[in-house]
Amino acid sequence: MENIIKGKAFVLGDNIHTDQIIPAEHLVYSLTDEEESKKYGHFALSSVPIEKSGLPNGGIKFIEGDNYISEYKIIIGGSNFGCGSSREHAPFALQKAGVLAIVAESYARIFYRNSVDGGFLVPLETPEKLNNLVSTGDEIEIDLSTYFLTNKTTDKTYTLNNLGNVLPIVEAGGIFDYARKNNMI
Phi, psi of 17 (to 5 degrees): -100, 165
Q: pLDDT for 114-124, tens place per residue?
A: 999 999 999 99
Contacts (Cβ under 8 Å, ≥6 apart) of 1: 122, 144, 167, 170, 171
The pLDDT value recorded for residue 59 is: 56
Check residue 50 and report its DSSP letter: G
Query: 75 is in which domain, residue-wise?
Result: 4-181
The pLDDT value recorded for residue 21 is: 94
The answer on pLDDT for 32 being more than 60 is: yes
The pLDDT value recorded for residue 55 is: 53
SS3 69: coil
Cα 24 to Cα 11: distance, rounded to the nearest angstrom = 22
For position 87, which CATH number holds? 3.20.19.10
The pLDDT value recorded for residue 1 is: 58
Into how many domains does the chain fold? Answer: 1
Q: pLDDT for 132-173, tens place per residue?
A: 999 999 999 999 999 999 999 999 999 999 999 999 999 999
User: How large is the C-alpha radius of gyration of the chain?
Assistant: 15
Contacts (Cβ under 8 Å, ≥6 apart) of 143: 3, 4, 149, 150
Q: Report percent pLDDT > 70 for the chain.
A: 94
The pLDDT value recorded for residue 57 is: 44
Q: pLDDT for 85-119, tens place per residue?
A: 878 899 999 999 999 999 999 999 999 999 999 99
> Between β-strands 72-76 and 101-104, what pairing exists: parallel, antiparallel or unpaired?
parallel
